[in-house]
Each structure stands twice: as C-alpha cells, then as structure tokens.
A and B are shown apart, each in its own frame.
Chain A
Amino acid sequence: MGRPVAIIGSGQTKHGSRFDVTYPDLVREAVRAVFEDTGITADDIDGVVSGTMPSMMEGVALTHFYFADAMCSVGKPILKTETCGSTGVSAALTGYYWVASGMADVILVVGSEKMHEGDSQATMTTVAEPFYQRFFISGAPGVFSMQSQMWMARYGIPEDKLRDAAAKVSVDHHRDALDNPYAHIKKAVTMDEVKNAKVITYPCRLWDICPNSDGACAVVFACEEKAKKICQKPAWIKGVGYRGDEYWFGDSDKVVWQGAIEAAREAYGAAGISNPLKELDVAEVYNPFTFQELLYYENFGFCDFGQACDYTLKGTFARGGELPCDPSGGTLCTNPIGATGLIRVAEAAMQVTGKAGDHQIEGAKLALAHAMGGVDQFNGIMILGSEL
C-alpha cells in the first residue's frame, strides 16, 4: 500500500452564499484555515493538488491558474484532479498517492466551488452528451429519483416506509448541521415539513435535496515522519477505493450498485475491515439526496439489501446510533461540488482526531469518507483511523 500517510489538518470556509468574496479569496480562506490548523506555512508544502467541478460552472477555465497564488502553488509542482462530484475524494486520493509513492512528504489538497456565480443546473445538463441522453436526463434530481424508484420496486419497500426513512434522514441531518459551524443550510425541519414539501422530481421533495453552495476545503497530507513531527494526532489513511461505471445511465444496475460495492470493498480490504457496521465509528457518506443515502448504507455493507429503511427508522445511523452517518449534516446541508468530497474527508479526519467540536462522535477511531460523481457514475472512498 505504499508508505503510511496521514492527514495532519484541515480547513473549511463558512459554506453558503458567498457573494462577499471573489473565488480566489474563498479558496484562500480555506487554505489559511488549514495553515492555522496545522501550524505549517506554504514553505512546508512540497506540492499542491487542486480539484473543482467543470470549468464552465464558474465561467473561468482551468481554475488551477486562477488560484495559483491563493493556494500557494507558485514555484511548486501541481496536479489538477477532476472527476465531477467525486472530485473531492479523487483529489484526496491524489494527495495520498503522491505522498504514499514517496514522491513528496507534504501535500496540500484544495477543493472548491462557487456555485452561485453560475447556473449550476444549466452547467450540469452539459454532463450528458447531446447524442442520446441529454434531453431526457432531467437534471441531477431526475436521475436519483429513478434510482430510488428502482430500489423500491426491487425489494418491495412500501412507499410510505421509504418516505418516512428518507424524511428521518432529512430531519436528522438538518439538525446535525446546526452543530457544524461551516454548514450552509442551518434550518431544523420536521417530518411533516419534509414529507409535504414541494415535489422536485418524485419522490424527491425540496428537503430531500442538497443546496447549491459556495465553499472551499483544504487538507494537508504528510508522510509518517513529517506527520509525527508536526502533528499531535494524525489521522492515518487506512484504505482507499474508487470505481467508475459506464457513462450510459441505464447500463449498470444502480440498486445493487457494483461500482459502489467494489469501491468500498477495495477500501475495506486495505483497511482490514470485514464488518463495517461494527468496525466503523462514523461514516461521512456523500448524500445529496436522502433516498440515495439509504441506498448507500446497503451498498457499503452497513446492512443487507432492502433493510436500510428499517435500520434508519430504528436510529442505527443517527447520531446516537451504532454507526452515525454524516454527523456534519453531510452534502445534504452543504454542497460546493468540487469541495464536497474533500469536506467528507476532512470531517472524517476531524472525527478520528477529536476535532469535530459540537458534532464530535465520542470515541471515534475509524471513519469512512465517500463521494459520488457524475450521473451515478463514480464512487470514491477513503478510510481514516486514529491508529497507524
């Protein structure tokens, strides 16, 4: 697996609607935060990894040029990783491989997005090619709605049980976000409000869906020697995994989702995890849609297929439960696309090093971070632990 690598700190911006700053200044906010968290400066960094969603999102192409100064990359080697929504985790993986391979000792990874400056729905429509699928995809929510309907039918899940489970997820996470100083949406909602909200693409309603957020996140990866020297409590990368499906939505089964299952399997294998429900203490699952979060519980082996609703309604995945998922509120409450996956990684690292403040899960030692990208196409996972 290469030499041991740790995350020695992270920084986030206050995510939300950030018309108060330009895009590079937003990036700098996160980079300054990670320098403060780690105590290092730009001189200590051997290289930088930048990650964002499609250039067309903010109307500036190849943003690694635009941010060169803001992310302290001048004079340094750089890599620019982009894999749609899974960018944040892919960028984290890039930082990890860069250090694990021995090609650098300390790497800064920065993920960012400023969605309010563009028309995100219009931009996302360009993900689908114009030959076959563009006119039918109905934007991101449409895809995930189709996925949920398939799942419901496959396992005979009664519609109201599914609706209740998804609503509970929404209620829980919106409450969790109140304890996260960086989260975008800070509004508690009730089961009734969620179940009766405006329909976006059935069965997804307003509170089942993530917001558009502006935000940036910065994480520093270091080799063992540097990590132990600089940091009191490094968060060690125990395993990583990633898979991509075919481009054509409709080719692969997205219910028993081979890509997600294998990405998890690759990460669990490296981390030596055989029973994720028992062994993981917290999971930051990429959850732009409540229904999809439920499906991930099954694909990541937290419970059997068809069982996620029952486990959710019991409280297994809520903050007091056996495997708290997204105690930060998750993507559902904060979604700056290029940063979101990296925020999951930062949150997981914070959890296993006791730095998650008001949303800390007591005694967390092993955490999973995940991001999904494309039209249900990519899944990336990083497992972090407090022990080497």
Chain B
Amino acid sequence: MAKHFQTLRHDVWLPYKFAVGPTFKRFYEGLKEKKILGNQCPKCGKILVPARTFCPTCYVDMGEWIEVSQEGEVVSWTLANYEFVGRPVDPPFIGALVRLEGTDCNFLHLIGGFDLSNKDTVRSKIKPGTRVKAVWSDEKTGHLLDIKYFEPV
C-alpha cells in the first residue's frame, strides 16, 4: 500500500482582472496625492480607513470622505524574517496595525525607517503606544505601498 508509484507535477496559472469600483479607486487616487482617505458612516459615525463602500456594522452606504491623520499609535506589529509568496517587500520587514488619529479601525501597513536586522533593537523602538507617522515613497502609482512605511516619531 505504501509503495511509491509516481509524482505528477502540475502548476496552475490563472490570470485575473479585478473591478476596482469607485470607492477604492478614489482611495488609490488619494494615495497619489499623499492623502490617506477614509470615510464616515452616516448612521454610527465611525470613520473607517482605507475607505469603504458600506459600513460593516450598519450596512448602509458610507457618507462623507475624510482625509485622515497620517499619524497614529501602533496597535500590534510583527517582524517578518522569511520570504513568502505575496510579501510586500523582502524581509526583514515589520507588518503592523496602526490606529490613525481620529479613526475607528486599525490600518494594516508596514513600520520602517530604522535598522531591522536586530530584533532587540526593533523591540526597543516599538512599544505599546509608540506613535508613528507615514513616510511616502518617491514614486506613487495608486498602491498602498505609495506609503513606504510608518516611522516612529
């Protein structure tokens, strides 16, 4: 039963074209202008970023668009040391959830701007409540990595 017979190698390649829709498009355009755009639910008043089409809690269309603060507090972070498919940049890098000032959800992005090679150095730089501020890439293409990372202030 356990005899080895044969292994069939088979790679699957599939192309995709996603519809971006007006909400995310506007968010991406904002990035090109060095703006981080969120919007506000007209019912519960929560400000969500990146901008959404609808409020997940109230299930109504989001209302006013707001340029949110580019500064905030680190909610959680992780130092990535391995290469995985889909990685935003080569390791080492820091993935993080940041609560941007004045918003009601956490923003998933990267933290950087200092030496990441030593985990103890990193841990000394980022503690609970560390404030960070967006640093922009030189080239902007309407992609979340137009923000290069958030740097501790």
Listed in ascending order, the chain A residues whose CB lies under 8 Å from chain B are 18-25, 28, 32, 42, 56, 58-59, 69-70, 72, 74, 114, 116-119, 122-123, 126, 130-131
- Asked if residues A119 and B15 are in contact (CB atoms below 8 Å), the reply is yes
The distance in angstroms between the C-alpha atoms of A384 and B35, with both chains bound, is: 53
A19-B19, A23-B19, A117-B16 are known; give 18 further A-B pairs, CB within 8 A. Answer: A20-B21, A21-B19, A22-B20, A22-B24, A22-B53, A24-B53, A25-B21, A28-B53, A32-B59, A59-B18, A114-B19, A116-B19, A117-B17, A118-B14, A118-B16, A119-B16, A123-B14, A130-B8
Residues of A within 8 A of B14 (CB): 56, 59, 118-119, 122-123
User: What's the minimum C-beta distance from A115 to chain B, rounded to whole angstroms?
Assistant: 11
Listed in ascending order, the chain B residues whose CB lies under 8 Å from chain A are 8, 10, 12, 14-24, 53-54, 56, 59
The distance in angstroms between the C-alpha atoms of A72 and B59, with both chains bound, is: 8
Residues of B within 8 A of A74 (CB): 56
- Asked if residues B15 and A22 are in contact (CB atoms below 8 Å), the reply is no
- Chain B, residue nearest A134 (CB): B10
- Asked if residues B16 and A58 are in contact (CB atoms below 8 Å), the reply is yes
The distance in angstroms between the C-alpha atoms of A69 and B23, with both chains bound, is: 16
- Asked if residues A42 and B15 are in contact (CB atoms below 8 Å), the reply is no
- Chain B, residue nearest A126 (CB): B12
- Given A19-B19, A42-B59: A25 touches B53 (CB 8 Å cut-off): yes
Residues of A within 8 A of B19 (CB): 18-23, 114, 116-117
Residues of B within 8 A of A24 (CB): 53
- Asked if residues A69 and B17 are in contact (CB atoms below 8 Å), the reply is no
Residues of B within 8 A of A23 (CB): 19
10 example contacts (A-B, Cβ-Cβ < 8 A) are as follows: A18-B19, A20-B21, A20-B22, A22-B24, A56-B14, A117-B16, A118-B14, A118-B17, A123-B14, A130-B10
Residues of A within 8 A of B53 (CB): 21-22, 24-25, 28
User: What's the minimum C-beta distance from B78 to chain A, rounded to whole angstroms?
Assistant: 20
Across the A-B interface, the 8 shortest Cβ-Cβ residue pairs: A69-B56, A59-B16, A19-B19, A22-B21, A130-B10, A21-B21, A25-B53, A117-B18
User: What's the minimum C-beta distance from B23 to chain A, rounded to whole angstroms?
Assistant: 8
User: What's the minimum C-beta distance from B140 to chain A, rounded to whole angstroms?
Assistant: 22
- Chain B, residue nearest A74 (CB): B56
- Chain B, residue nearest A58 (CB): B16
User: What's the minimum C-beta distance from B70 to chain A, rounded to whole angstroms?
Assistant: 25
Residues of A within 8 A of B20 (CB): 22
User: What's the minimum C-beta distance from A329 to chain B, rounded to whole angstroms?
Assistant: 24
The distance in angstroms between the C-alpha atoms of A74 and B55, with both chains bound, is: 12
- Chain A, residue nearest B53 (CB): A25
Residues of B within 8 A of A119 (CB): 14-16
User: What's the minimum C-beta distance from B144 to chain A, rounded to whole angstroms?
Assistant: 15
The distance in angstroms between the C-alpha atoms of A118 and B21, with both chains bound, is: 16
Residues of A within 8 A of B24 (CB): 22
The distance in angstroms between the C-alpha atoms of A70 and B12, with both chains bound, is: 30
User: What's the minimum C-beta distance from B5 to chain A, rounded to whole angstroms?
Assistant: 12
The distance in angstroms between the C-alpha atoms of A126 and B10, with both chains bound, is: 11
User: What's the minimum C-beta distance from A131 to chain B, rounded to whole angstroms?
Assistant: 7
User: What's the minimum C-beta distance from A29 to chain B, rounded to whole angstroms?
Assistant: 10
Residues of A within 8 A of B54 (CB): 25, 28, 69-70
Residues of A within 8 A of B23 (CB): 22
User: What's the minimum C-beta distance from A343 to chain B, rounded to whole angstroms?
Assistant: 20
- Asked if residues B8 and A131 are in contact (CB atoms below 8 Å), the reply is yes
Residues of B within 8 A of A118 (CB): 14-17
Residues of A within 8 A of B15 (CB): 118-119, 122
The distance in angstroms between the C-alpha atoms of A174 and B97, with both chains bound, is: 51
Residues of B within 8 A of A116 (CB): 17, 19
The distance in angstroms between the C-alpha atoms of A114 and B20, with both chains bound, is: 13
- Chain B, residue nearest A118 (CB): B16
The distance in angstroms between the C-alpha atoms of A122 and B19, with both chains bound, is: 19
The distance in angstroms between the C-alpha atoms of A19 and B12, with both chains bound, is: 25
The distance in angstroms between the C-alpha atoms of A28 and B60, with both chains bound, is: 10
The distance in angstroms between the C-alpha atoms of A131 and B5, with both chains bound, is: 13
Choose among B8, B19, B24 the residue with the greatest number of A CB atoms under 10 Å from its CB: B19
Residues of B within 8 A of A22 (CB): 18-21, 23-24, 53
